Structure 1
């Protein structure tokens, strides 16, 4: 009525939920991604620390499966869960009372001997051992038939020519065997160099089921996914800020004049 006119100007960005670093929804999602990523990342490492033991192998007695200086991860297991073909870490006072890495070739109740047709023989069956070094005859560790007592294990190195294994202790009271209770862990993977998970020795399958791999792959996946979420969520703010800044720069010539 008085000639005055009033205009309403909408505030810039009012109600849009946007700011200098993107939408509020985006910020919340990035925060959730970082939080979830930290849980997965730290949880994966914690799980691995509980389940696995790290070792550095000092000798070449398990070549070519494990070389001297290799770093391995071994799953903590009860000795009663060990099966034929497993590569285990054990400690026996008669063998020097230091952690040793060997392959289980026979368990309590088995008969084992070497060699016939160049192959190890367990319970009358010839065992295919593709993990042995190329060109190395199995006969190099020839020994007479041994009956493994209940609750004990017979172990050999994959490098049969230099391994101080059960064959070097045949004259002991236990006939070269060790108690299942001496086993600390079962080797799951060589992590340095990154040779990956150990293959399951299918040559022992006719004698019974093989052990299953541990959760190392799952743990590794949790750690990787967690790291991606943390990095992705943390990068949201700077990326959104740069994107908003670029949009404003592009819009300035349109407002000019």
Structure 2
């Protein structure tokens, strides 16, 4: 050897002079699939970590929609993006030291009351609320017609009989409402058993409608496609070599 170069035989050609065989098209496809899958999977994971936070429901006040101890995924949002029907996570020192989970039934400027044929009313419209416990009326005791101040939210639990919510706090000031900036997130899904929480149709006809779906489904689809591409691409190479060996063997 001269100058540290390795030769490949008596011809004196160095290893660098020997042409490398071209990569098989299958290897290129496999590598591209793994790369694309990694981008999709990791991108979804990062985006999800930024957009969502996990929460645990502390009380049964939102049963049967979510039960005490359920793990939730909640999208980080500003309170001014909240719409009627949203289930929100909020913090307010007059309510609790811990984050709470309730449903928004009225926003600033609305008039909320009970009851019309046993149904909650918002701006004079009686609501059908299929998310309430089966066989339980929507009636809220001692809920006179109440105007929600601007920039505030009227919150109720789905388990109306045992929820310390706006109806139970009417005498606390501001009609038992909380400022919309107390909201830290909007609940999109239950982690286990997996379930996406749809926006209630009962509020869709009211001005402003209901919230658009969050990005959770897109993130989940991106992560699943990414995982399939990574595992499929990684498995493609060994399978292709095994098939090639069988054909030439």
TM over 0.5: yes
Task: Count how many residue pairs are aligned between Structure 1 and Structure 2.
Answer: 229
Please report how far the alpha carbon of residue 217 of structure 1 lies from its aligned counterpart in structure 2 after TM superposition.
Answer: 0.7
Q: Which residue is equivalent to 1:231?
A: 231
Distance, in Å, in 2 between the alignment partners of 1:155 and 1:54 is: 21
Q: Contact conserved, 2:53 with 2:75, CA < 8 A, in 1?
A: yes
Q: In the alignment, which residue of structure 1 is the partner of 2:78? A: 78
TM-score by length of 2: 0.88
| Residue of structure 2 in register with 1:158 after alignment | 158
RMSD: 1.6
TM value normalised by structure 1? 0.85
CA shift, 1:164, in A, is 1.3
1:132, 1:115 → 2: CA distance? 15
| CA distance in 1 between partners of 2:28 and 2:245 (Å) | 20
Q: Distance in 2 between matches of 1:81 and 1:122?
A: 19
Q: Give the CA deviation at 1:60.
A: 1.4
Structure 1 unpaired stretches of 5+: 1-14, 250-257
What does residue 205 of structure 1 align with?
Answer: 204
Maintained 8 Å contact 2:64/2:131: yes
For residues 204 and 234 of structure 1, what CA distance do their matches in structure 2 show?
48
Tell me if the contact between 1:71 and 1:193 (Cα under 8 Å) persists in the aligned partners. no
Partner of 2:149: 149
Measure, in 2, the Cα distance between the counterparts of 1:206 and 1:244. 62
How big is the shift at 1:78? 0.9
Contact 1:114 1:121 (C-alpha < 8 Å) held by counterparts: yes
Contiguous gaps of at least 5 residues in structure 2 = 1-18
Superposed CA deviations along residues 179-228 of structure 1, whole A, max 9, x for unmatched, are 00000011111121112x21211111222211101111110111001000
* Structure label with greater radius of gyration: 1
